[in-house]
Amino acid sequence: MKDSRIEQLADVLVNYSTTVQPGENVLIYAIGQVHDLVKAVISKVYEAGGHPYVQLIDQTIQRELLLGANETQLGVMRDADVSFMKKMDCYIGIRGGDNISELADVPGDKMQLYSKLLMRPVLDVRVPETKWVVLRYPNPSMAQLANMSTDGFEDFYFKVCTLDYGKMDSAMDSLVELMEKTDKVRLTGPGTDLTFSIKGIPAIKCAGNANIPDGEVFTAPVRDSVNGTISYNTPSPYQGYTYDNIKLTFKDGKIIEATANDTEKINEVFDTDEGARYVGEFAIGVNPFIQNPMKDILFDEKIDGSFHFTPGQAYDEAFNGNKSSIHWDLVMIQRPEWGGGEIWFDDRLIRKDGRFVIPELECLNPENLK
C-alpha cells in the first residue's frame, strides 16, 4: 500500500503512542504482509533517535511450529524472547495476518502450553516494562470481516486510527473521576443482569497510548463481587476459533456456567487455570467511528456504546488480584439496534442504550469526539 496516511500513522505510533526518545530500543513485532508500515515506522524511529529492531512473523509457519510444540522447546523460546524483551524500551506490535483462523486447528492443549509457557512470560515483561502499542493493519481479510470493500475499509481504518486522541484523552477525565468514586456497578440488557463492585480499583483511560485504534476507560471488578448473568452479543475470535452466543453466569466472582456455539470448547478455555473463570477487566468503549463488530478485538472492544467484561488476567494498573494465562475481551454492545441496555453506578443511570445520560459524561457521546 502506497499511501501518505501510512506516514501519518507511523508518526502517531512512534511520537504519540510510544514517545520514542533518543537511544531507546524499539521492537517492531509484525505479523503478515505489513512491510510498508514497518518501513515507515523504522524511518520514524530513526528520526526520533531510537534503535529499531524487527521480528517478522508468518502465521502459517507459526501454526506448523505449534502443531508439534513441546515444553522443552517452548521453554527455550521463552527464555530467548524474555531476554530480548528485557532489552527493549518500546514495543510496536503490527498485526496483519491474512486469516484470523490460521491457528484454529492447533489442538487446545498445544495452545494452552503456548499461552502459559511463552505468551504470558513475555507479556509479563512487555506490558509493565516497555512503552507499548499494538494495532491491526488493513488488508482484504479485515475488509471482508467488516463487510466492506477493501478501499472502503482502508478509508475507515485510517479515519479511526488517526483521530484526535488528545481530545479524547481530555474528555475521558470525567469518566475516570466518576468510576474511581463508584462502588456498585449494574449492567443490564437482553439476557444480561450483572452486578459487581469496582470500589478501590483505579480507572485507566486509553486514548491512543497502548492500542491503535483506541477509545476505552477500564478498571476491574473486585474479584469475588461479580454475580448474575451476561449474554454477549458480538462474535469473538480466540486462539483461532470464533465463538458466538456466549453466555456466562457468575457466582461470587466465578464463572459457574458458560455456554456458546461450542460449549465444550469454551469451557476448555475457562479451565486453562483458576484465574480464567474470574474477571480481570471491565471497560467502557467510546470510539465514535467504530460502530459494529468485525471479529477483531482491537477494534471491537472500542465500539461506541459498548463495554467489555474480560475473563482472565487483570492489568497491573487496575489490579484486582486475578492472575491467569488468558485475557479474553468479550464485548456487549448496548445501542438500540443491538438490543439496548443500561449501565448503573451506585444506583444512578449513567448510560442508556449506548449514550451517556448525565451531564458530566455527555462529552463522551460520539458527536462530541469526532
pLDDT confidence of residue 124? 92
**Element of type H or E holding 218:** strand 216-219
Sheet holding 342-345, edge to edge: 254-259, 247-251, 227-231, 192-197, 184-189, 342-345, 348-352, 355-356
> pLDDT means per 10 residues in the chain (370 residues)?
82 94 98 93 98 95 94 95 97 88 87 90 93 89 84 88 89 98 98 98 92 93 98 92 96 98 96 96 96 89 97 95 95 98 98 98 96
**CA separation for the pair 206, 226 (Å, rounded):** 24
Q: For residues 16 and 165, is the Cβ–Cβ distance under 8 A?
A: yes
Residue 268, pLDDT score:
93
What is the predicted pLDDT for the residue at 136?
85
Q: Can you give the length of the chain in residues?
A: 370
Provide the pLDDT for residue 296.
86
As a whole number of angstroms, the distance between CA 313 and CA 120 comes to 10
3-state class (DSSP) for residue 149: coil
pLDDT for res 2 = 54
Spatial separation of the C-alpha atoms in residues 342 and 45, rounded to whole Å: 44
Buried b (16+ CB within 10 A) or exposed e, 334-368: bbeebbbbbbbbeeeebbbbbbbeeeebebbbbee
Taking every pair of C-alpha atoms in the chain, what is the biggest distance, in angstroms? 57
CA distance linking residue 38 with residue 27, whole number of Å: 11
Q: Coil, helix or strand for 26?
A: strand
pLDDT of residue 240: 81
205 in helix, strand or coil? Answer: strand
Q: What angle do CA 337, 338, 340 make, to 5 degrees?
A: 90
The per-residue pLDDT for 1 is: 53
Q: Which domains does the chain have, with CATH numbers?
A: 4-162 (3.40.1830.10), 165-368 (no CATH)
C-alpha cell at 224: 469475588
What pTM was computed for the model? Answer: 0.78
Predicted local confidence at residue 226, as pLDDT: 98
Spatial distance between the Cα atoms of 89 and 334, rounded to a whole number of angstroms: 38
Burial of 199 (0-12, 13-18, 19+ CB in 10 A): middle
